[in-house]
Amino acid sequence: MAILGIWQVVSSTQKGMNAITDIPYKRRFAEKDLSGASAMGAQWAALQDAGLAVAALAGLTPEKQDARVQSFPAMIRDAGGWRFDLAMQGISDMAAMMEPGVKALLAVADRGQDPTAAAFSLWCEFREARSALLSLVPDSDCPESS
């Protein structure tokens, strides 16, 4: 399987840079080093970090994580079966969307251009994909959002 990047918003000490354009230094790991549910949990966390980076590039304030997003890996693991399989595929698809998207946004920012509109579009796609995955968890298994 492909390698998934973990994105983190970091502050830079470089002159002329700010927290919005200093997105990320990447830590990488091979998915094959992780198995099943643990791989999914790590990928899910990486995607949430990528989402925060994209939101920052879009000029949005960070969203407050709700309980459903935080506990999704455990809830979908408990649901098991086709739901778990579909979630694994969906997370892989999200990673395939986010990694080149973030790279493109960073390239735009590195050229001194404004990535805000493109970042907002990617942010909307990210939120829709995440929402679709969250809908795989049976309602009785979802904690209340805060």
The pLDDT assigned to 36 comes to: 66
Start-to-end C-alpha separation, the chain: 35
Residues 111-117 have a mean pLDDT of 96
One DSSP character per residue, 41-78 reads HHHHHHHHHHHHHHHHHTTPPPPPPPHHHHHHHHHHHH
pTM of the predicted model as reported, rounded to 2 decimal places: 0.72
pLDDT at 109 over 90: yes
Report the helix count and the strand count for the chain, using DSSP H and E. Answer: 4, 2
* Position with higher pLDDT, 4 vs 142: 142
- In the chain, the amino acid numbered 143 is P
Least confident piece of the model among 8-17, 21-30, 31-40, 117-126: 8-17
Asked whether 101 and 54 are in contact (CB, 8 A), the reply is yes
Helix axes 67-79, 116-134, angle to 10 degrees: 40
Residues in contact with 39: Cβ distance below 8 Å, sequence separation at least 6, in sequence order? 31
Angle at 88 between CA 1 and CA 137, to 5 degrees: 170
Q: What is the mean pLDDT of the chain?
A: 77
3-state SS assignment for residue 112: coil
The pLDDT assigned to 66 comes to: 86
Residues 73-82 have a mean pLDDT of 92
For residue range 18-37, what is the model confidence (pLDDT) as tens digits?
A: 334 343 333 333 334 445 66
pLDDT at 62 over 90: no
For residue range 79-96, what is the model confidence (pLDDT) as tens digits?
A: 989 999 999 999 999 999
